[in-house]
Amino acid sequence: MARPPANHPLLEVRDLRVEFPTRRGTLVAVDGVSFHIDPGEVLGVVGESGAGKSLTGAAIIGLLEPPGRIAGGEIRFDGRRIDNLPYEQMRRLRGKEIGAVFQDPLTSLNPLYTIGRQLTETILTHLDVTPAEARERAIRLLQDVGIPGAERRIDHYPHQFSGGMRQRVVIALALCANPRLVIADEPTTALDVSIQAQIITLLKRLCREHGTAVMLVTHDMGVIAETADRVAVMYAGRIAEIGPVRDVIKTPKHPYTIGLMGSIPKIDRREARLAQIDGAMPRLNAIPPGCAFHPRCPKAFDRCRVERPDPIHVDRSHVACWLYDRDDVRVGAVVDE
């Protein structure tokens, strides 16, 4: 896929707002989120449960479940606006240009069809090939994702595969039409710890080979450190900090990120995930005014309780925190900690 170098990113999300209208008012689950992903780039997305990571991904592929809806902002793919596309046009994009891998491989595959049938139907939907060619392509894909005996296994049903193998099949499905972006929403969370690394390595290798960009949602900072080019840290529906992976991990700037990094778990201990920060993320109907993090923030000051910070350019990152709004002594204090 040789395209002329574009002067725009592959994916550009600007000011995205996702709402759920409910009887007792509107819940804003994603609020003013902006980021971009360049071709071939891996953007890690981290944050506590409920931060809005999955919803952001769902909004990008146009699969927000009603009543959830995009209430503001825009999403551009390859320069073209896709957040307001008619269903049928968006459908053609899904699977072909933007693939998706979800959390649970055990339930992502239709139990009543062979994996071969699910692969070929996807290939035939998006590519102009004959059924025989589609099947050949499916077998190659299965070999690519490391399924032994692919020629035989293609006619097996999902329940005949282990969890890890199924997730490989899911990855093959997401990549079968050679998309330019894959949204991987916690692709290994449901898997055995021993298999998680293999799957991530596989995803990383395949995407590098095909030049596929990835939005990788995960709770695992170890995976982020190894895989991502840049990281976005989300908190209560907003991006707290986004920047190159080394910077965010080595020199986190947002107090929330600092808290996260201070609590990085041993990678092999599964239950010790992110967010060992005191307190809990606010519920959507009780997001505090000003900086949503201020009730938990050790550095909070008056302004934080009133005004909401927008991301500010700090070094090579963007940080939504008032500490960085001016040349303040506090900055040094925070970073030194």
Partner 1 sequence: MIAFVIRRLIQSVLVMIVVAFVAFSLFTYVGDPISIMLGQDYTEADRARIAAELGLDRPFFVQFARFVANAVQGEFGLSYRLARPVDELIAERLPATLELSLVAAIFALVVGVPMGVYTGLNRDSWLSRVFMTVSLIGVSLPTFLIGILLIFVFAVHLGWLPSFGRGEVVHIGWWSTGLLTVSGLKALILPAITLGLFQMTLIMRLVRSEMLEVLRTDYIKFARARGLTNRAIHFGHALKNTLVPVITITGLQLGSIIAFSIITETVFQWPGMGLLFIQSVNFADIPVMAAYLCLIAFFFVVINLIVDLLYYVVDPRLRADRGVAGGHTG
Ligand X SMILES: Nc1ncnc2c1ncn2[C@@H]1O[C@H](COP(=O)(O)OP(=O)(O)OP(=O)(O)O)[C@@H](O)[C@H]1O
Of the candidate residues 50, 95, 252, 259, the single one contacting ligand X (CB under 6 A) = 50
Which residue type does 166 have? R
| Segment near ligand X (CB under 6 A); pick from 4-12, 46-54, 196-204, 328-336 | 46-54
Alpha carbon distance 176, 174 (integer Å): 6
Q: How far is the CB of 24 from partner 1 (least distance, A)?
A: 21
Return the number of the residue (274 or 321) whose C-beta is nearest Mg ion. Answer: 274
| Segment near ligand X (CB under 6 A); pick from 33-41, 48-56, 154-162, 205-213 | 48-56
Residue 255: which of ligand X, ligand SF4, partner 1, none does it interact with, CB under 5 to 8 A by kind? ligand SF4
Could you give the string, one character per residue 59-98, with x where binding to partner 1 holds by CB under 8 A and - elsewhere? --x-x---------------------------xxxxxx--
Residue 304: which of ligand X, partner 1, ligand SF4, none does it interact with, CB under 5 to 8 A by kind? ligand SF4
Q: How far is the CB of 255 from ligand SF4 (least distance, A)?
A: 4
Verify binding: residue 56, Mg ion, rule CB under 5 A: no
Closest CA to 238 of 312, 296, 291: 291
Verify binding: residue 111, partner 1, rule CB under 8 A: yes
Answer for the pair 135, 121: CB distance below 8 angstroms, yes or no. no
Q: How far is the CB of 273 from ligand SF4 (least distance, A)?
A: 21
Alpha carbon distance 51, 287 (integer Å): 12
Verify binding: residue 107, ligand X, rule CB under 6 A: no
Element (H, E) at 241: strand 238-244
Answer for the pair 73, 84: CB distance below 8 angstroms, yes or no. no
Answer for the pair 256, 323: CB distance below 8 angstroms, yes or no. no
| DSSP labels, 124-149 | HHHS---HHHHHHHHHHHHHHTT-TT
Of the candidate residues 13, 28, 55, 184, the single one contacting ligand X (CB under 6 A) = 55
Verify binding: residue 27, ligand X, rule CB under 6 A: yes
Alpha carbon distance 29, 295 (integer Å): 19
| Segment near ligand X (CB under 6 A); pick from 47-55, 83-91, 315-323, 327-335 | 47-55
Alpha carbon distance 168, 310 (integer Å): 39
Phi, psi angle pair for 268, to nearest 5°: -90, 0
Binding region for ligand SF4 (CB under 6 A): 254-255, 291, 293-294, 297, 299-300, 304, 309, 321-323
* Straight-line distance from the first to the last Cα atom of the chain, in angstroms, rounded to the nearest whole number: 47
Return the number of the residue (40 or 222) whose C-beta is nearest ligand X. Answer: 222
Nearest-5° Cα angle at 48, 224 to 76? 65
The site for ligand X (CB under 6 A) is made up of 20, 27, 29, 47, 49-55, 68, 284
